[in-house]
Structure 1
Amino acid sequence: MELHKNVSFILGGGVFLSLFSFVGCTTAKERVQNKEYSKPNIVLINIDDMGWRDVGFMGSEYYETPNLDQLAGQGMVFTNAYAAAANCAPSRACLMSGQWTPRHEIYTVGSSERGKSKNRKLIPTPNNEYLGNEFRLIPEVLKKAGYTTCHAGKWHLSDDPLEKGFDVNIGGSHAGNPGSYYPPYRNVPSLKAPSDDYYLTNLVMDKTLDFLRSVEDEPFFLYYSPYAVHTPIHPVKDLLPKYKNKAAWNGQNNAEYATMVENMDAQIGRLIELLESSGELDKTFILFTSDNGGLYQVSKQWPLRAGKGAYYEGGIREPMFAVWKGQIPAGEQSEVPVTNLDFFPTILEVAGIEKPEIMNLDGESLLPVLTDEGTIGERALFWHFPVYLEGGNQETQDPIFRTRPGSAIRLGDWKLIEYFENGELELYNLKEDIGEKNNLAASNAGKLDELQQLLIHWRAETHAPVPSTLNPDYIE
């Protein structure tokens, strides 16, 4: 994957300075074990529905994200970063709990019986719409360790994030989208617009900056998760003329969506500016990602296949980077496959917090990779989706559903998708075929069997439900 030429210059130009400042530092593990260790601030940025190539640092020449591009250049960019699910609620539940979907049983948004019953061959697994109190979440653990915690934007996992470890809640509820980015902000009644045309993303950042100014001596955890750039596609009006006259690039040509992306980037620029001016940026660990792939009807992620809701790469591979001055070398890029399940153990290690023995985390700390002090061994990444999600398109090769019930696994360069309706298997070598165009299931029986057995074992270990009851309403 070739990075945008301007970003390549930024990344390349930062390597020498970072390595110069990095030499001689104690290791991350030694530092966090120091009794006088000063806990860093932690900022977790989770954009909604922004695809792998919807930012400049991942190659887009249509969308403009100068603030993110510059920030990414100060840390490590991951080109094989994944969400643990292909749509909003399950991905966010995985991130906050650090656990695979079969453990919390949030598989989709709303009912698992999506689409028309006559098109569903199987009775899907019932969906859980709320993250249970038995799960200990990132903000709960950090709050107990002395952090002041703030949620800003979309929550989607319960009615009130204040009941899940946050001290401050800016606009978060069980709502999955704002209804409108212009007043009145339907589904976000807790936020009141200062004027009749005040854009919601701007207001969420206004309140976020107010929170940061209020924090005094204690470290803070900010979960910044704006509703943007989720539908509805409501343009930022003063940016629209520029994109209407801009040439399309690689399937990206939606001017209204482009204004939302640029405005989201501008708000993050405000956040970074405040952290820098207050002297907090050098003491802050930042993780950036998106909760799932871009919406196919709005923005293409080529060469990745399909988009949000699909378990092809376009639905689950995300833009991601981490920044931590003095610990993460600037201008680096990693091809290590990682997932948002890794964020919880990474944050614990960054904060110097021992993982409670009762807590089950399915990811691994990325700190050795981030600090160039080690790596993580090759491991399998898993996805499980025992439900239906309507909205198929030409790249899913299914005119009805983006995803039918199934599971997926990635190990090394190989990826297997298994469908439960008919036992169909798709095998891809992502190194040679990132667009998942050539199904090798028939020609590579050895690799197919290896991955399928791993998938079967994982489902048994996690008690992942496999729907098998036929739907009497189904019409073949």
Structure 2
Amino acid sequence: MKLFITLCLIICFYGCNTTKTQNEKSSKKPNIILINIDDLGWKDLGFMGSTYYETPNVDKLANEGLIFINAYAGAANCAPSRACMLSGLNTPKHGIFTVSPSDRGDTKTRKLIPIKNTDHLSDTIYTLPQMLKSAGYITSSFGKWHVGNNPKNQGIDVNIGGSGKGNPGKNGYFSPYSIDFIKNGPKGEYLTDRLTAEAISFIKKHKDTTFFVYLPYYTVHTPIMGKEALIKKFENKIGSNGQDRPDYAAMVASMDENIGRLLNTLKEVGLEENTLIIFTSDNGGIKSISSQEPLRAGKGSYYEGGIRVPLIIKWPKHIKPNTVSYKTVSNLDFYPTLQTITKPSKTAPLLDGIDLSPLFKNQNIVQRDLFFHFPIYLQNYKMGHDQSRDPLFRTRPGSVIISKNWKLHHYFEDDAIELYNLLDDVGEQNNLVKNHPEKALELLNKLNEWRKKTKAPIPQKLNPEYNPYFSNI
């Protein structure tokens, strides 16, 4: 009888523990990998329509996840976009509007004195990595940080290559490197390869924990430097629609190859099923390097080519593969989405984005407007070839609102308005202000209300050095 009771207790003990283990496994929080490519254009990938660039691994990732066609960065260039994503706050709330200084271009061509820029996120801001640490994640960053001098002060446990620097520096992408917090590899080592190797090493080391990998590659930011063999390969390939630079194509190909290495590692260590992957870009591509037609303009502009970006989210068993969403989303939405999924002990006090997780279940999300504020100047890249409002600047001070299919630009220098219907005119060629004055007024009122609510600074002081008759063209 005693033996029978003992056996029953043993069976019960192991049965309960097996059930407990299975429940723990099924309820385990997902590992998270956020891949943020620098200056990659909306149409610089095969699955987005490029016939020149070769991106088989990213295309495969797209087939395995959810593609967003109408995805936007929080801003049109590096630092403000990253600040929006990592803080969950729009630009007026963190004050990073550009990469300093904010008074770009010839002073005689600037009518207003722009708002002074803030370089880095304040230490008082509760960042996305800090939130994930509160949810039990070990956090890491491999690449360009750009919103502070040391990511470890902003929620990152392991940092390789990230600081306040916004580009790979004078030596570019080949070792010896000119960036911080990284040891030089063998001479000629390629930075994109190295950052991926570091990320893979981290994943293997922490495969039994719950981790966050932030992979903000420096690529494809200037200087445009690809591997010689890949450059030669693309020299023999015919480009089209403004996409034909072999050196840039080589950089895109190396990026894609390394995404493949990362995805293969997840499979090898058995983590693919429980890893949520976000793939995006920090802003649009540079127009003179890679055209995003039919989108107008590129990096630094608040026309679609400067702010619309590629976006894929993959999460096996939670997101149906090979699906597409036309909902308007932003990188401001990553923070609230991940916060909902990970359930941290300390949540962010305020976020400007929305939770996208209902879309994963084929449910709807709240219809909202997107706002962009840029009280600064950005000089042109290539005069006459940027598709900007005028040949001198990619951006003059102003704000933008996107409301459903409508988009309104408001410029501060001359109080001018541009109104576009993105459904019919994604290239923003036909200003419809005169055709739809009621819609223009409606959106301008919304924009004014938002600026008042967020205390968005508007430049009003006239520049004494401005000369309306001066031209440096």
TM-score normalised by the chain length of structure 2: 0.91
Residue type at the aligned position of 1:86: A
Aligned-partner SS, 1:274: helix
Q: Deviations over 1:341-393 (max 9, x none)?
A: 0000111122133773x611000010001221x11122100000000001154
Mapping 1:463-474, distance limit 5 Å: 463-474=455-466
Partner of 2:428: 436
Partner of 1:80: 70
1:325 correspondence with 2:316: yes
Q: Distance in 2 between matches of 1:238 and 1:249?
A: 21
Partner of 1:25: none
Q: Deviations over 1:158-209 (max 9, x none)?
A: 10001111110010010000011112222x1432333211111111111111
1:241 to 1:35, Cα distance in 2 relative to 1, 3 A = closer
Mapping 1:401-412, distance limit 5 Å: 401-412=393-404
Q: Distance in 1 between matches of 2:345 and 2:330?
A: 21
Q: CA deviation at 1:216?
A: 4.2
Aligned-partner SS, 2:44: coil
1:419 correspondence with 2:408: no
Aligned-partner SS, 1:310: coil
CA contact (8 A) 2:72 2:329 kept: yes
Q: Distance in 1 between matches of 2:377 and 2:447?
A: 20
Structure 1 portions without partners, runs of 5+ = 1-32
Residue type at the aligned position of 1:403: T
Aligned-partner SS, 1:258: helix
1:128 correspondence with 2:115: no
2:167 to 177, 180, 185: 177
1:105 to 92, 95, 105: 95
Partner of 1:143: 133
Q: Deviations over 1:384-417 (max 9, x none)?
A: 0000001154411411110000000000000000
CA contact (8 A) 1:46 1:290 kept: yes
Q: Distance in 2 between matches of 1:279 and 1:350?
A: 21
Q: Deviations over 1:136-162 (max 9, x none)?
A: 011111112210100010000110001
Partner of 1:389: 378
Aligned-partner SS, 1:134: coil
1:114 to 82, 101, 104: 104
CA contact (8 A) 2:396 2:411 kept: yes
Residue type at the aligned position of 1:377: V
2:204 to 210, 213, 220: 213
Equivalent pairs, count: 441
Partner of 1:379: 368
Partner of 1:360: 350
Q: Distance in 2 between matches of 1:198 and 1:216?
A: 26
Mapping 1:221-240, distance limit 5 Å: 221-240=212-231
Partner of 1:315: 306
Q: Deviations over 1:31-58 (max 9, x none)?
A: xx99972111001111000000000111
CA contact (8 A) 1:146 1:218 kept: no
The root-mean-square deviation of aligned C-alpha atoms, in Å, is 1.5
Aligned-partner SS, 1:474: coil
Partner of 2:14: none
1:275 to 1:175, Cα distance in 2 relative to 1, 3 A = same
Q: Distance in 2 between matches of 1:215 and 1:167?
A: 12
2:36 to 30, 34, 46: 46
Identity %: 49
TM-score normalised by the chain length of structure 1: 0.91
Structure 2 portions without partners, runs of 5+ = 1-22, 469-473
Q: Distance in 2 between matches of 1:58 and 1:338?
A: 17
